[in-house]
Amino acid sequence: MATDCDHLVGYIPGGEVKAGDWNWKLKDFVAQVDDFNVRGQRDQINHPGFAAEFRFCPNCGHHIDRIGLGLLSYEEAFKQYDADKTASRGSHAMKKQGWAVKVVEDATGEVVKLLPARDQRDAEKIERGLEINLNHEKYTCSVVEPAKI
């Protein structure tokens, strides 16, 4: 039997959340938790609370098919947030700093690692450190100038 209910699928501090709003509200909540984890180590700030995922809709009583509705779990939302945060930090660092060290797989020519550096000297130090344990039969590393990134 089909239902017209926009299921309540969980609770995030601030109120119950409907299926259509769950993913973005959960991502916002995960950002608050991450902020608490970082700033809470040095500042006294309030805990953001806890998220709860409902198994059944409190309005209509139907079982909530989280996969069928495309709802993220807390773990999935945190992984996405962490990946977005890392990617934005990396691209911001590359734009801001310029210099980098790249590691290239010789067989495919694919860049397997791009490490940002503060300046040319820092990039050269990173390159020398990589050269110590690098598998020279498979990989090469080189310093990349800001204009060539």
Compute the C-alpha angle 87/117/35, nearest 5°. 40
Instruction: Report CA 22 to chain centroid distance, whole Å.
Output: 18
Predicted pLDDT at 7: 87
Predicted pLDDT at 10: 93
Predicted pLDDT at 106: 92
120 or 2, which is more confident?
Answer: 120
Q: Which amino acid is at 52?
A: A
pLDDT over 70, % of the chain: 90
Q: Name the 3-class secondary structure at 132.
A: helix
pLDDT bin (cut points 50, 70, 90) of residue 12 is: very high
Map tokens 């934005």 to a residue.
88
User: Which strands make up the sheet holding 111-116, listed edge to edge?
Assistant: 111-116, 100-105, 139-144
User: Which strands make up the sheet holding 15-18, listed edge to edge?
Assistant: 15-18, 8-12, 52-53
* pTM for this model (two decimals): 0.56
* pLDDT tens-place string over residues 59-115: 899 999 888 888 988 888 888 888 888 777 655 444 555 789 999 999 998 888 888
Compute the C-alpha angle 79/14/29, nearest 5°. 15
Instruction: Report CA 3 to chain centroid distance, whole Å.
Output: 35
